[in-house]
A and B are shown apart, each in its own frame.
Chain A
Amino acid sequence: MRRFTLIAVPYLWLLALFLVPFLIVLKISLSDYALSIPPYAPTLDFSAGWQGIKDLMSKLDFENYVFLTEDALYWKAYLSSLKIALISTVLTLLVGYPIAYGMARAAPEWRPTLLMLVILPFWTSFLIRVYAWMGILASEGVLYQFLSFLGIVDEPLKILSTNTAVYIGIVYTYLPFMILPIYAALEKMDDSLIEAAEDLGCSRMSAFWLITIPLSKSGIIAGCFLVFIPTIGEFVIPSLLGGSDTLMIGKVLWEEFFSNRDWPVASAVAIILLLILVIPIVLFQRNQQLQREAEG
């Protein structure tokens, strides 16, 4: 009986607040926009029983999805989300790997402190961390003042409200997600492997390419997915740092919902976004699985 309660309580909670809402999104994405409250049709008529459900099913269609393919805005937004996510993942890797490497090579007594310094930003508000860059990147912001003080620039910067600012924001906020798995992989690595490679004739550089990189591969892959997956649906960064021409699907969905109040189209946008995310998520799971098997 206790076992039943233990299973039932979290199960029912998730069914009611995760699965059912998701099915509602799916259903609404197949409905039509209507000038009513709620702003879509048809609605489910429970009082009509089975007949009501049948009526509902017959009225659902893929019109919204067809609309998404016809309107260039949407698929451009998907493509641009993927592009921004991809570029910023690569940038985050390039910035994060040397940091993770330096941490793994630091004296053992320093490592817990360095680790804490990487994790600390996690606990500070995401919104504030993004906001911090607004003052720096603004046309006459802190960065401009610094650079003009050095005499490098003489006219106001055009970084804020561009994709460059979005890249900076993503690299900055997601950097710990990249550092941690790579650090974990590098830290486990036995130092004598590098010595063995050098003993067998490798230079330091070739030992790095032939041994260190392959052995941190699982960390690199995990870090890349941890940055790539949430970045695709990102909303805060493009809306604060990006410009009007920064197209990201999270922002489009938000505007479709709050500004245009087109719930069926917003729902369809959400469903497609999920379908796009399934591929990297499955790949990520496989990587984690392989890593566990390799270790176990």
Chain B
Amino acid sequence: MNQKVFAPWDDPNQKPLIQFQNVTKKFGTFTAIDDLSLDIYEREFFALLGPSGCGKTTMMRMLAGFETPTSGTIRLSGQDLGQTAPNKRAVNMMFQSYALFPHLSVWENIAFGLKRESTDKDAIAARVEEMLRLTRLGKFAKRKPHQISGGQRQRVALARSLAKSPKLLLLDEPLGALDKKLREETQFELMDIQEKTGTTFVIVTHDQEEAMTVASRVAVMDEGRLVQVATPADIYEAPNSVYVADFIGDVNIIEGNATPNGDRVRIDWAEGQPEIWGTAQKPVASGERISFAIRPEKVTISKEKPEDRRNLLEGEVIDIAYLGNISTFHVKVGNGQIIKAQSANTRRLANRDITWEDRVWLTFTETAGVLLEG
């Protein structure tokens, strides 16, 4: 591999662009951010992901300067942001509501920030034109925000916040107001623009698919803390907790008692059911209560009993969710637990043989799932 993978967080020589150091933010008695430390590197597309109220918006507003930390420091390029006012930071923000000025045209909206720091009309005009080209808005320059579509408004907001070439661009649920199809298109556009401009993006979202698609790294947040910070693939394949596994995508969680056996772990999870074998990522104590998490697409479903092997469960199909490209089968196994299995619909509907109330067999490999504490 000649091409170096973009992973500054693994390189100890890299200096982070943004550093949160033991940052706590309280609103009255409510703790929004709880002793949080985090490094974000230059040119990263960093996603803050979590349910509403997890503190992700507060993190962003502290970066923009609309909130100040109760304790701890936030550094940008090594410098303490401290009490620096929002209008004095090399940080720009794209607002969830877009916050386009309704009395100004698209052109004037984009020029707004530039006019604050410069009086060079030609330079401003050139920069605005560049932004209009980048976001393909040239035709709409003279229109007012209420005269263009939602997707175009989103691009105006992006162009406006990028116009001042900030060191850091904050995006607060940037695609929340768009419909699904447009959102998917725009995700790629955002990545494209991020790559072209080389700006560091921090995006706040509650949509895990969006975070997975656009981000170089994702931080999963819960109640003011970081639960896991990792690449999308690691978050999905190797979640570090039941919370993350459950928050990202669909997952089956099976609880049981662990017995280590070499590099494998045996899990006894229900009376009269065959035990489950998994692979330990870290040492497990014998008899420890443990959660086994496995993604539905890693569970194979079949009507014929496969040859005897480990991780073979028998059950009855009680529900089928047909999603077009895939189907999810809800299978009730012996002890009453529902286990979801997914299969790709490679054949047409009429040719598929598994249906409601069928007896089926579920199998998965010993490395397919992850073992999580608790």
| Residues of B close to A272: CB separation below 8 A | none
Contacts of A210 in B (CB 8 A): 112
| Interface segment, one of B97-105, B201-209, B216-224 | B97-105
Supposing A190-B97, A192-B95, A192-B97 touch, asked if A198 and B103 sit within 8 A by C-beta, the answer is no
A205-247 CB contacts (< 8 Å) to partner B: 206, 210-211, 214-215, 217
Bound-state Cα–Cα, A87 to B101, Å: 32
Q: Select which of B65, B91, B116, B161 is within 8 A of A202 by beta carbon.
A: B116
Interface SS of chain A: helix, strand, loop or mixed? helix
Against A, the Cβ 8 Å flags (1 = close, 0 = not) of B102-128 are 110000000011001100000000000
Closest CB-CB distance, A217 to chain B, in whole Å?
A: 8
B97/A197 in contact, CB under 8 A: no
Q: Are B103 and A200 neighbours in the complex by a CB distance under 8 Å? A: no
Q: B101 and A199: CB pair below 8 A?
A: no
How far apart sit A210 and B96, CA to CA, in the bound complex (Å)? 21
Chain A positions within 8 Å of B332 at CB level: none
Residues on A with C-beta less than 8 A from B117 are 201
Q: Which residues of A contact B66 (CB under 8 A)?
A: 195
A/B pair count, beta carbons within 8 Å? 61
Number of interface residues of B (CB under 8 A): 24
Contact B93 A211 (CB under 8 A): no
| B85 in contact (CB, < 8 A) | yes
Cβ contact of A214, chosen from B86, B103, B112, cutoff 8 A: B103
Cβ–Cβ contact B103 & A199, under 8 A: no
Is B164 an interface residue, CB under 8 A from the partner?
A: yes
Q: Does B112 contact A195, Cβ atoms closer than 8 Å? A: no
| A-side contacts of B112, CB under 8 Å | 197, 200, 210
Query: A295: nearest residue on chain B (CB-CB)?
Result: B146
Of the candidates B91, B95, B161, the one having the most CB atoms from chain A within 10 angstroms of its own CB is B95
Report if A53 contacts B (CB, 8 A): no
Count class of interface residues, chain A: 10 to 19
Give CA–CA (A203, B112) in the complex, Å: 13
Tell whether A283 is near chain B: CB-to-CB under 8 Å.
no
* Distance A276 CA – B69 CA, assembled complex (angstroms): 60
- Within the assembled complex, what's the spacing in Å between the Cα atoms of A198 and B86? 6
* Smallest CB gap from B157: residue in A: A196
- The answer, among A200, A211, A215, A217, for a CB contact under 8 Å with B116, is A200
Is A132 part of the contact surface with B, judged by Cβ < 8 Å? no
Closest Cβ neighbor of A195 among chain B residues: B66
Q: Which residue on B lies nearest to A201, using beta carbons? A: B116
Of the residues B93, B103, B146, B164, contact of A196 by C-beta under 8 Å: B93
Residues of chain A within 8 A (CB-CB) of B87 are 198-203
Footprint of A on B, CB under 8 Å? 64-66, 85-87, 91-93, 95-97, 99, 101-103, 112-113, 116-117, 146, 160-161, 164
In the A-B complex, list the 3 residue pairs whose CB atoms are closest, starting with the nearest. A200-B113, A201-B116, A196-B99
- New contact pairs (18) apart from A198-B65, A294-B102, CB-CB < 8 Å: A193-B101, A195-B93, A196-B93, A196-B160, A197-B101, A198-B87, A199-B65, A199-B92, A199-B113, A199-B161, A200-B112, A201-B116, A201-B117, A202-B87, A202-B116, A203-B85, A211-B101, A215-B103
